[in-house]
Amino acid sequence: MIWSVPADPRFTTCRARPFRSLVGSPCDRAKFKPGKSIPDYFLLRRAHIGWTPRMPLGEVISVFAGQCGTQVSQAVWELMAVEHGVGPDGMLIDPSAETDYDKQSGNVFFMVDNKDRYVPRTTIVDTEPTVIDEVRCGLYRTMFNPRGLISGLEDMANNFGRGYYGVPQTLIDATINSIRKEVEHTDLLQAILFCHAYGGGTGGGTACRIAELMDTEFMKIPKIEIAVFPDHQKSCCVVEPYNAILCCSTLDDISTFSVLCENEALTDICTKKLGIERPAFSHLNRVIAQATSGFTATLRHEGPVTASLLQLQTNLVPFPRLRYLQLGIAPLCTADVMSHEAFTVPELTLKCFEKENQMNTCDPKNSVMMACALLYRGDVPIKEITDSIEIFKKRSIVGLVDWCPTGFKVGVVERPPAVVKQSGLGKTCRQLTAVYNSTLVIEPFKCILHRFSTLLAKKAFVHWFLQEGMEEAEFCECADDVQAIMNDYIFIENCFNTGAECAEPPTVDRRFNNPCRGEEEEEEEEEECAAEDCMNCDLDDMFDDEDDGCDDDCGENEGKNGVCNL
């Protein structure tokens, strides 16, 4: 039954809703009869917005692996607790102010137990106990489920092979069991959020082992990867290129899409935008947490325009292998700057694509963008968003492919972002997180492949990986895969620069220039190819001779239905 709407200009943009959904109790429903107008506060709780609130649907499970992932998890859950009003003990800071919507919104990343305590839906794993013990003994120690904090007794020594093949099976089983129990506590699982670093032994090797088992057990569940990619110039370990290439190739067919971050870009944000002279990893992790909060805001809060993970996957991945995304966030300013500055929606949109606001070191202005998701938070009118997109297109700040005419997915939530005081970020009434798929990943892949080939040319440190059960051919095969991904992005960029028609990128030639392949091996491969060609020619001649014999005697030996009996 649809009730009449008062003739008021405030309600021209909203739709009438059933009476049962507007008035909660039976006593309230008894006061009104069909044909009469409904009071304003029953018709629309947010008359100044003019849209029907949509509740978040489904839960998200997060998995953090390795030292980097464990440290990032502390910053992420610290910010999530502040944003949802949860104290360090897991209890609500102000239970009287909680609404049904707040409870359902917090249910996306938290699970409410029988004591009304908010427990994160997470599993944190590391092969050595030092960093995990910081979580067990930290301020938020009572908020986590002890079953989800898993640690071993020794680290993986920055060795992908040791992390993949040498990790204890008991640790793997405990991790998968923890993830399985988290899945069992969900009603509608949206996705599994996976955070780790490419360059580590645990974050690379063990994370790949866990991801493969998750893909086997939860095949249809999207797996969203937030990965810290090795820097161009700075490096934490010598064998980081080996670990990064092996990890990238292994997860290529597992992750739905990957959001890449670089420590060098995060350091520049802390020093240039936040005024921190010597940023520690805790500052960098809080920037990642802020980006993760903006990236997942449309999953946790209501808004006029939704953007679920499945929608982001559909709108940001045009081809299966082109799934590496970049992320920008604006504004990134201190509290002093935010106290006297207010950014409009067009200014936020343009500022979000500046080099200083990127999680990668490359400049978006030198790339070609295939698709983009603009995720706004706070007081952001829809009209200003459309105007901002038009301004962005007219100024041609970033090259946009012509075969994707729309190119932008928009998500809006009304709740403004929250910040942690120790992060150095100032509180703002509106924020934009841009997640986009562009050719910006060419430069990081090119740099890591160059460093990889330089090490592999001398077979430096390879023996440590071979001792853990790996084979030398795995290095070249994984490099072939990464080279093919980079070639696909280069193909998109070349089509844009030349104006040629762009079809699906070719993925046939994936051969990596192996520096270990000598002239003798190349000659042997050429001889093998020539021998195969000769064998194929002999087989063709043999079948041609048989066909000729059959054709000559076809008149005499033709059987039933015109089939030759020879």
pLDDT tens-digit series, residues 162-207 = 999 999 999 999 999 999 999 999 999 999 999 999 999 999 999 9
One-letter amino acid for residue 357 of the chain: N
Structural domain boundaries enclosing 28? 1-52
Same domain, 69 and 191: yes
Q: 102 with 248, same domain?
A: yes
Verify that 335 and 383 share a domain, yes or no: yes
Decide if 311 contacts 57 (C-beta within 8 A). Answer: no
Q: Does residue 76 fall inside a structural domain? A: yes
- Do 412 and 493 fall into the same domain? no
Q: Is the pLDDT of residue 17 over 50?
A: no
Q: Does the residue 566 lie in any domain?
A: no
Distance CA 55, CA 294 (A): 17
Q: Quote the CA–CA distance of 123 and 185 in Å, as a whole number.
A: 13
More confident residue, 77 or 58: 77
The answer as to whether 253 is a domain residue is yes
Strand duo 408-413 + 324-330: pairing: unpaired
Residue 269 contacts residue 332 (beta carbons within 8 Å): yes
* Cα end-to-end span (Å), the chain: 79
Burial class (CB in 10 A: 0-12, 13-18, 19+), 165: middle
Q: What pLDDT, in 10s, does the model give residues 333-384?
A: 988 888 888 889 999 999 999 999 999 988 898 899 999 999 999 989 999 9
Please classify residue 541 by burial: count the beta carbons closer than 10 Å to its beta carbon, then call 0-12 exposed, 13-18 middle and 19+ buried.
exposed
Nearest CA among 215, 249, 233, 195 for reference residue 67: 195
To which residue do tokens 């990668």 refer?
360
pLDDT higher than threshold 50 for residue 233: yes
Of 554 and 195, more confident: 195
Same domain, 428 and 297: yes
Q: Is residue 538 part of a domain?
A: no
- Beta-bridge partner residues of 126: 151
Show the tokens assigned to 545. 């001779």
**Which segment of 388-402, 500-514, 539-553 scores lowest on mean pLDDT?**
539-553
Residue 482 falls inside a structural domain: yes
What is the domain count for the chain? 3
Q: Which residue has the higher pLDDT, 498 or 161?
A: 161
pLDDT tier, 558 (very low <50, low <70, confident <90, very high otherwise): very low
**Which backbone phi and psi does 64 adopt, to 5 degrees?**
-120, 125
pLDDT tens column, 246-299: 999 999 999 999 999 999 999 999 999 998 988 999 999 999 999 999 999 988
Percentage of residues of the chain with pLDDT beyond 70: 77
Tell me, rounded to whole angstroms, the distance of Cα 114 from its chain centroid. Answer: 32
Among residues 62, 54, 48, 482, the alpha carbon closest in space to that of 292 is found at: 62
376 and 256 in one domain? yes
Give the residue from 19, 35, 52 where a domain finishes: 52
> Tokens at residue 56, please?
């978040």
Q: Is the pLDDT of residue 530 over 50?
A: yes
Within-domain flag for 263: yes
Residue 546 belongs to some domain of the structure: no
114 and 240 part of one domain: yes
Of 15 and 173, the one with more pLDDT:
173
Tell me, what's the pLDDT at 26? Answer: 39
pLDDT higher than threshold 60 for residue 390: yes
Q: Are residues 15 and 73 in the same domain?
A: no
Please state, as a whole number, how many other Cβ atoms lie within 10 Å of the Cβ of residue 172: 16
- Alpha-carbon span 134 to 124, nearest angstrom: 12
| Tokens standing for residue 421 | 């005081």
Mean local confidence (pLDDT), 60-74: 96
Reported as a pLDDT band with limits 50, 70 and 90, residue 5 is very low
Average pLDDT, the chain: 81
Q: 329 has which bridge partners?
A: 433
Residue 547 confidence (pLDDT): 45
Predicted confidence at residue 302, as pLDDT, reads: 80
Q: List the helix and strand counts (H, then E) for the chain.
A: 22, 13
Which residue from 189, 204, 153, 196 is spatially nearest to 174, judged by alpha carbons? Answer: 153
Give percent of the chain with pLDDT exceeding 90.
58
Give me 549's structure tokens: 């014999």
Better-scored residue on pLDDT, 7 or 219: 219
Secondary structure (3-state) at 283? helix
Write down the pLDDT at residue 37.
39
What's the pLDDT score for residue 244?
96
532 pLDDT exceeds 90?
no
pLDDT of 146 strictly over 50? yes
Considering the domain architecture, whether residues 458 and 326 belong to the same structural domain is answered as: no
**Neighbour tally for 506: CB within 10 Å:** 11
Is the confidence at residue 504, as pLDDT, over 60?
Answer: yes
**Co-location of 138 and 26 in the same domain:** no
For the cut 70, the answer to whether the pLDDT of residue 209 exceeds it is: yes
Where is the domain boundary, 479, 498, 517?
Answer: 498
State the pLDDT at residue 162.
96
Q: Are residues 197 and 326 in the same domain?
A: yes
Are 83 and 21 contained in the same domain? no
- Identify whether 69 is part of a domain: yes
Read off the pLDDT band of 301 (50, 70, 90).
confident
As a whole number of angstroms, the distance between CA 378 and CA 366 comes to 30
Query: How high is the pLDDT of residue 423?
Result: 87
CATH code for the domain of 491: 1.10.287.600
